[in-house]
Homo-oligomer: A and B are copies of this chain.
Amino acid sequence: MQRVVKRSFSLEAYTLEGGATIPVTLGYETYGTLNEQKNNVILVCHYFSANSHAAGKYSPDDSLPGWWDGLIGPGKAVDTDKYFVICTDNLCNVQAKNPLVITTGPKSINPETGRSYGMTFPAFTFRDMAGIQYELMKQLDIRHLVAVMGPSAGGMIALHWAVQYPTMMDHVIGVNTAAQNPIMTSFNVLQHAMRTIKLDSNWNNGEYSEQQEPLEGLHLAIQMMNINAFTASYQESAYPRDSKEAAPYACIETMTSYECALYDKIAINIPLIDANHWLYTARATMMQDVSRGFDSLEEALSRIQARVLMIPCEQDLLQPPEYSQKVVDILKKQGKEADLHMIRSDKGHMAGVLEPHLFENEVKAWLKAGVQIGSN
The interface of chain A, by Cβ under 8 A from chain B, is 17-20, 119, 122-123, 125, 180, 182-188, 191-192, 194-196, 199-201, 216-217, 220, 223-224, 227-228, 231-232, 235-236, 239-241, 243, 248-253, 256, 258-259, 262, 279-280, 283, 286-287, 289, 291-292, 294, 320
* Cross-chain contact of A253 among B19, B119, B201, B235 (Cβ < 8 A): B119
Residues of B near A182 (CB, < 8 A) are: 232, 235-236
Query: Are B243 and A291 closer than 8 Å at their CB atoms?
Result: yes
Chain B min CB distance to A372 (Å):
36
A90 to chain B, nearest CB (A): 15
CA distance A192 to B294 in the complex (A): 37
A125 to B243, CA, bound (A): 14
Q: 7 extra interchain contacts, Cβ-Cβ under 8 A, other than A123-B252, A188-B188?
A: A186-B258, A187-B259, A191-B259, A192-B220, A195-B196, A199-B200, A199-B216
Assess the B123–A224 pair: CB atoms within 8 A: no
Question: B252 near A192 (CB under 8 angstroms)?
Answer: no
Cα A19 to Cα B248 in complex, Å, equals 12
Q: Which residue in B195, B262, B279, B320 is a CB contact (below 8 Å) of A252?
A: B279
Q: Verify A250–B18 contact, CB threshold 8 A.
A: yes
Shortest beta-carbon distance from A56 to chain B in Å: 34
The 8 lowest CB-CB distance pairs between A and B, nearest first, are: A18-B250, A184-B232, A252-B283, A199-B199, A183-B235, A201-B201, A184-B235, A123-B252
Which B residues are CB-close (under 8 A) to A256?
286-287
**Pairwise interchain contact A250-B19, C-beta atoms closer than 8 A:** yes
User: What is the oligomeric copy number?
Assistant: 2
Q: Provide the bound-state CA to CA distance between A183 and B230, in Å.
A: 12
Return the contact of A180 from the options B191, B241, B280, B294 (Cβ within 8 A): B241
Cα-based distance from A184 to B200 in the complex (angstroms): 24
Which of A180, A200, A220 is packed against the most chain B CB atoms within 10 Å? A220
Residues B123 and A236 in contact, CB atoms below 8 Å apart: no
Smallest CB–CB gap between A122 and chain B, Å?
7
Chain B positions within 8 Å of A180 at CB level: 241, 243
How many Å from the CB of A239 to the closest CB on chain B?
Answer: 5
Bound-state CA distance A251–B106 (Å) is 13
CB distance A183 to B240 under 8 Å?
A: yes
Residues of B within 8 A of A217 (CB): 199
Nearest chain B CB to A167 CB, angstrom units = 24
Is B183's CB under 8 angstroms from A249's CB? no
The one of B17, B220, B228, B248 in contact with A249, judged by C-beta atoms closer than 8 angstroms, is: B17
Question: What are 21 sample pairs from A and B whose C-beta atoms fall under 8 A apart?
Answer: A19-B250, A122-B251, A123-B251, A183-B236, A183-B239, A183-B240, A183-B258, A184-B231, A186-B258, A187-B259, A192-B220, A195-B196, A196-B220, A199-B216, A199-B217, A241-B289, A243-B291, A243-B292, A249-B287, A252-B283, A256-B286
